[in-house]
Amino acid sequence: MSKDARIYCSQGPDTLPATAQGTLSGTRFVFKDLFDVEGYATGAGNPTWLKTHQIATATSPLITALLGQGAECVGRVQTDELAYSLNGQNSHYGTPINPKAPNCIPGGSSSGSAVAVANEECDFAIGTDTGGSIRVPASYCGLFGLRPTLGTLDLSHCFELAKSFDTAGIFTRELRLMRDVWSVLAARHQSGERVTRVYLDAQCQAVMSAVRIERLSQQCQRAGIEIIQGNVLAQNGWSLTELSLLFRTIQGFEIIEHHDAWLTLYGDSLDPAIWERVEWARTITHEQYEHAKARQQDFQQQVLTHLKQQRCLWAMPTTPSGPPSLTMPADELAVYRSQLMGLTSIAGLSGLPQLHLPMEELLEGPCGISLMGLPHHEETLFVTGEAVYNG
């Protein structure tokens, strides 16, 4: 039986056997078409990229680590073009069907990774997250999704989009397995502290439906976790719109800085929606970039200070709502994307770990909430997240 080309890449590998017994023995995984495997080409979601790049001469250390702990790889999976989208739509290979909401987009850019896990074709998947590419498809497909602390996981032999924000991440259907995979990839086994306070900013709460707010409140109450409300973002002069623009300015400049030569030669191979973002990114000046980086440092410090002083985690909607319809007009989807990136940019700009917890049975479709914590406190997110999820 042939594999669904909307999910799986044709260039392979189709399978990679485990190289030893270990923590992950008996599990299967897929990986996003941004990670290298020796002897195969990496396509980055674009057929022309695939044709114009050499066969990889080394394998991502993340894949090597998973195989070395007993996991079996069952395929390379699709991504949005150059990972520069949050929709999960690819005009070259097709859009993977969202098993939780078949008439809606699956989310991207780690679309194949999320859909393969949601379809139960594998136990977990690794993808990447720059502007939300783990968190958004996890939300839309009803999965757990982790964007870890920036710089924790080794991204050698992996496609680079924007160096200030790129990180690998994980999708699972079960939080227990998420913790096991994380311990392998991060090469550490730590216990986490269960936090008893979460902060919900007024601007994040304003994006949430009443149903989702009530669900979060009930689960936290049952878990013995206090929700603190406030206006930290506004008090420090930030709006979600400003955070989105700040993030996109840094991201866009770095994309052009790293990929301009290829884009000049082969940009006409990109979907028009992706190319439009490239053209906008080319208008960003070095001065604008440097100013944005300075503003990012201010934001990082403000968020860190609040987390430390309040001894809390931040809670937030991962996405504004459930997944948009496949038929949503492009202009409406662009407006939604800007609002979405206001939320995802909080962890992106601060470099902090964020864990998505699914609430798939809500009326608005698959969605949920996220917890964000201090650097290298992923285990605290797991422990507290488990309490909230089971509350």
CA 40, distance to chain mean position in Å, is 24
Contact 69, 24 (CB under 8 A): yes
Strand 368-372: give its sheet, edge to edge: 72-77, 28-32, 124-129, 167-172, 144-147, 354-358, 368-372, 313-317, 197-201, 226-230
CA 352 – CA 305 distance, rounded (Å): 13
Residue 220 pLDDT more than 80? yes
Mean pLDDT, all residues of the chain: 96
Nearest CA to 311 out of 183, 185, 196, 210 is that of 196
Residue 334 pLDDT more than 90? no
CA 243 – CA 246 distance, rounded (Å): 5
Residue 361 pLDDT more than 80? no
- 139 is annotated as an active-site residue: no
pLDDT, position 192: 86
pLDDT, position 283: 98
Question: For the packed helices 210-223 and 378-390, what is the interaxial angle rounded to 10 degrees?
Answer: 100
162-178, pLDDT tens digit by residue? 999 999 999 999 999 99
Residue among 32, 244, 269, 350 flagged as catalytic: 32
pLDDT, position 365: 78
Cβ-based neighbour number of residue 38 at 10 Å? 14
Q: Which pLDDT band holds residue 58 (cuts at 50, 70, 90)?
A: very high
Tokens describing residue 339: 């609002």
Residue among 85, 111, 113, 133 flagged as catalytic: 133
Residue 140 pLDDT more than 80? yes
Residue 305 pLDDT more than 80? yes
pLDDT, position 335: 86
201-214, pLDDT tens digit by residue? 999 999 998 989 99
Measured over the CA atoms of residue 168, residue 80, residue 110 and residue 331, the dihedral's sign is: positive
Nearest CA to 118 out of 30, 234, 35, 1 is that of 30
CA 224 – CA 185 distance, rounded (Å): 31
Residue 362 pLDDT more than 80? no
CA R_g for the chain: 19
pLDDT, position 360: 67
Q: Which pLDDT band holds residue 1 (cuts at 50, 70, 90)?
A: low
- 32 is annotated as an active-site residue: yes
262-294, pLDDT tens digit by residue? 999 999 999 999 999 999 999 999 999 999 999
Tokens describing residue 368: 């949920």
pLDDT, position 131: 98
Same fold, 28-186 and 197-241+284-390: yes
Nearest CA to 275 out of 85, 136, 92 is that of 85
Residues 6+ apart with CB under 8 A from 382: 175, 178, 179, 182, 192, 355
What are the Cα distances from residue 2, in Å, to 9, 10, 41? 11, 10, 20
Domain map of the chain by residue range?
Answer: 28-186, 197-241+284-390
CA 223 – CA 282 distance, rounded (Å): 48
Nearest CA to 95 out of 6, 178, 222, 186 is that of 6
Mean pLDDT, to the nearest integer, of 223-251?
98
Residue among 85, 109, 269, 370 flagged as catalytic: 109
Mean pLDDT, to the nearest integer, of 310-320?
97
Assign domain 28-186 to its CATH architecture: Alpha-Beta Complex (3.90)
Q: Which pLDDT band holds residue 338 (cuts at 50, 70, 90)?
A: confident
Give the ranges where the chain is alpha helix by DSSP (H). Answer: 47-51, 61-68, 111-118, 135-140, 175-186, 202-207, 210-223, 232-235, 240-266, 272-281, 286-310, 330-350, 378-390
Question: For the packed helices 61-68 and 175-186, what is the interaxial angle rounded to 10 degrees?
Answer: 120
CA 113 – CA 30 distance, rounded (Å): 6
Tokens describing residue 40: 């195969």
How many percent of the chain have pLDDT more than 70?
98
DSSP state of 35: B
Paired with 16 in beta bridges are 73
DSSP state of 374: S
Mean pLDDT, to the nearest integer, of 147-153?
98
- 164 is annotated as an active-site residue: no
Kindly indicate whether the domain formed by 197-241+284-390 is annotated with CATH number 3.90.1300.10.
Answer: yes
User: In b/e form, how buried is each residue of 214-251, taking b as 16+ CB within 10 angstroms?
Assistant: ebbeebbeebebebeeeebbeeeebebeebbbbbbbbb
Residue 189 pLDDT more than 80? no
Q: Which pLDDT band holds residue 64 (cuts at 50, 70, 90)?
A: very high
